[in-house]
Amino acid sequence: MSEDARKGLWGTAGFAGLMLAAGAGAFISSQRDKRDKRNQTADDAPGFTARRSFGAYDVVGRTVTIARPREELYAYWHDFANLATFMENIVSVKPTGADGRSVWTILAPAGRTVEVETEVVKDEPGKLIAWRSVEGSQIDTEGRVTFEDAPGERGTRVGVRIAYKPPAGELGRAVAKLFMREPNIQARHDLKRFKMLMEAGEIATSANRKDKTRAAKQASQSQDASQDNTRQEETA
Partner 1 sequence: MRALTWQGTHKVQVDTVDDPEIINPRDAIIKITSTAICGSDLHLYDGVIPGLMPGDILGHEFMGEVVETGPKSTLQKGQRVVVPFTISCGQCFFCSTLQYSCCSNSNPVEKQDISANVYGHAMSGLFGYSHMTGGYSGGQAEYVRVPYSDIGPIVIPDHLEDEKVLFLSDILPTGWMAAENAEIQPDDTVAVWGCGPVGLFAIQSALVMGASQVIAIDHYPHRLELARQLGAKVINFRETSVLDALMDMSGGLGVDAVIDAVGMEAHGFAIDNIMDTAKQKIGFGADRVSALRQAIMAVRKGGRVSIPGVYGGMADKFPIGAIMEKGLQIRTGQTHVQRYTKDLLAKIEDGTLDTTFLISHRLPLEQAADGYKNFKEQQDTWTKVILKPGMSAPDNTRKENA
Scored b (16 or more CB within 10 A) or e, 4-33 reads ebbbbbbbeeebeebebeeebbebbbebbe
- Residue 157: CB minimum distance to partner 1, A: 11
Q: Binding partner 1 by CB under 8 A: which of 1, 75, 196, 221?
A: 196
Using CB under 8 A, pick the residue from 72, 117, 199, 228 that binds partner 1: 199
Q: Which amino acid is at 166?
A: P
DSSP state of 135: T
**Whether 221 contacts 111, CB under 8 Å:** yes
What residues pair up with 92 in beta bridges, in sequence order? Answer: 105
Stretch in the footprint of partner 1 (CB under 8 A) among 42-50, 53-61, 96-104, 207-215: 207-215
Stretch that binds partner 1, among 8-16, 94-102, 104-112, 190-198 (CB under 8 A): 190-198
Min dist. Cβ of residue 154 to partner 1 (A): 6
Count of CA atoms in the C-beta half-sphere (13 A) of 195: 20
Phi, psi angle pair for 94, to nearest 5°: -120, 130
Which 141-180 residues touch partner 1, going by CB under 8 A?
A: 154-155, 180
Q: Binding residue for partner 1 (CB under 8 A) from 39, 41, 206, 235?
A: 206
Dist. CA 227–CA 234, nearest whole Å: 10
Window 82-101: contact mask with partner 1 (x via CB under 8 A): --------------------
User: Are the CB atoms for 162 and 143 separated by under 8 Å?
Assistant: yes
Q: Cβ 200 to partner 1, closest distance in Å?
A: 4
* Cβ proximity to partner 1, 49 vs 96, nearer residue: 49
Identify which range of 15-23, 49-57, 113-121, 195-203 contacts partner 1 by CB under 8 A. Answer: 195-203
Rounded to whole angstroms, how far apart are CA atoms 92 and 102?
10
Q: Where does this chain bind partner 1 (CB under 8 A)?
A: 65, 67, 154-155, 180, 185, 189, 192-193, 195-196, 199-210, 213-214
